[in-house]
Amino acid sequence: MNREYWNQNADAWFGKTALPVYGEMCPTEDQLGLFGDVSGKKLLEICCGSGHSLKYHGDQGAGELWGIDLSEKQLQNARGLLEESGYRAKLLCGAMEEDLGLPQGYFDYAYSIYGIGWTTDLPGTFQRIASYLKPGGTFIFSWHHTLNYCAGWTPEASHGWQGEQIPLTRSYFDEEPFRMPVDGMEIILRNRKISTYVNALSAAGLCLERMVEETDSAVLAAKPETFKEKKAHMLPISVIFKARKL
Ligand SMILES: C[S@@+](CC[C@H](N)C(=O)[O-])C[C@H]1O[C@@H](n2cnc3c(N)ncnc32)[C@H](O)[C@@H]1O
């Protein structure tokens, strides 16, 4: 179902949710510098979408660019973008939960920008990602902050909640998959507790180095007008994790 959504809507998401942007109303990589110097390094993007984050790293001098994604249409767009930008990337179509034959102990960095939360098997996915990294390699990912989906949010009113107050609309403990209507179709997502991510990283031998739960300073400095802006003044909309393979 999710593959079908991404195949049909790839063009509408072209270049969205890609580095240097980590997520909505969140500090950018230009502000945070979580990657550091990637020149000459081997990078793997999980859920690489339209390839814009890979291009971003190509522009920073990365040595090898690899990407995996569930959607053939997304990869078609990524191939076009990277080729016209003069970059050779290895792009594989498949699910992050599966064995796609990626090299073990090979990458300096694995990362994912608004991709990891789609997994149906978080512990298994983190185990796989850890296996692709060299010892000491870095894993960085961003996703919706768990609280974003617990407050002033329902799958049916994900973009249009109204009101002055921000009610708790969903239990923080609820990690069951749910269906969400988007663009006249349906996707399936889960909202996981922060401890679920931290514990799965730890179980995979990935040591948490930094977690970013911040709203962008420009958003905080401005008077909030929309409901989303009011919410972003009170809780993080996105979260970023940076971990190192032991
Ligand atoms: C928000 S987009 C990521 C965009 C990407 N950061 C970029 O720079 O274009 C999420 C991507 O996750 C992919 N995806 C969803 N579930 C997946 C899975 N189980 N395995 C691999 N990719 C998946 C979708 O096809 C989609 O391209």
Note the pLDDT tens digit of each residue in 105-129.
Answer: 999 999 999 999 999 999 999 999 9
53 lines ligand 1 (CB under 6 A): yes
Domain 2-143+193-219 has CATH 3.40.50.150: yes
Q: Retrieve residue 148's tokens.
A: 């974003």
Q: Retrieve residue 5's tokens.
A: 């959504």
Q: Could you tell me if 238 and 25 are in contact, meaning their C-beta atoms sit under 8 angstroms apart?
A: yes
Give the HSE-up count for residue 205: Cα atoms under 13 Å, Cβ half-sphere: 13
10 lines ligand 1 (CB under 6 A): no
Note the pLDDT tens digit of each residue in 145-181.
Answer: 999 999 998 888 876 677 778 889 999 999 999 999 9
Q: Retrieve residue 153's tokens.
A: 């949010």
Identify the residue whose C-alpha is closest to ligand 1 atom 13.
Answer: 47
Note the pLDDT tens digit of each residue in 181-197.
Answer: 988 999 999 999 999 99
d(CA 164, ligand 1 centre) in Å: 33
Tell me which of 6, 11, 47, 65 to substitute to probe ligand 1's pocket, judged by most ligand atoms within 8 Å of the beta carbon: 47
Alpha-carbon gap, residue 173 to 200, rounded angstroms: 16
- Residue 71 scores a pLDDT above 70: yes
Atom of ligand 1 nearest to the CA of 54: 8
Q: Which sequence spans correspond to the domains of the chain?
A: 2-143+193-219
17 lines ligand 1 (CB under 6 A): yes
Q: What percent of the chain has pLDDT over 70?
A: 99
Q: Could you tell me if 37 and 74 are in contact, meaning their C-beta atoms sit under 8 angstroms apart?
A: no
Note the pLDDT tens digit of each residue in 26-57.
Answer: 999 999 999 999 999 999 999 999 999 999 99
Q: Retrieve residue 27's tokens.
A: 């500090």
**Omega into 123 within 30° of 0, i.e. cis?**
no
Identify the residue whose C-alpha is closest to ligand 1 atom 19.
Answer: 95
Q: What pLDDT is recorded for position 212?
A: 98
- HEC secondary structure over the chain: CHHHHHHHHCHHHCCCCCCCCCCCCCCCHHHHCCCCCCECCEEEEECCCCCHHHHHHHHCCECEEEEEECCHHHHHHHHHHHHHCCCCEEEEECCCCCCCCCCCCCEEEEEEECCHHHCCCHHHHHHHHHHHEEEEEEEEEEEECHHHHCECCCCCCCCCCCCCCCCECCCCCCCCCEEEEECCEEEEECCCCHHHHHHHHHHCCEEEEEEECCCCHHHHHCCCCCHHHHHHHHCCCEEEEEEEEC
113 lines ligand 1 (CB under 6 A): yes
Length of the chain as a residue count: 246
Alpha-carbon gap, residue 63 to 42, rounded angstroms: 6
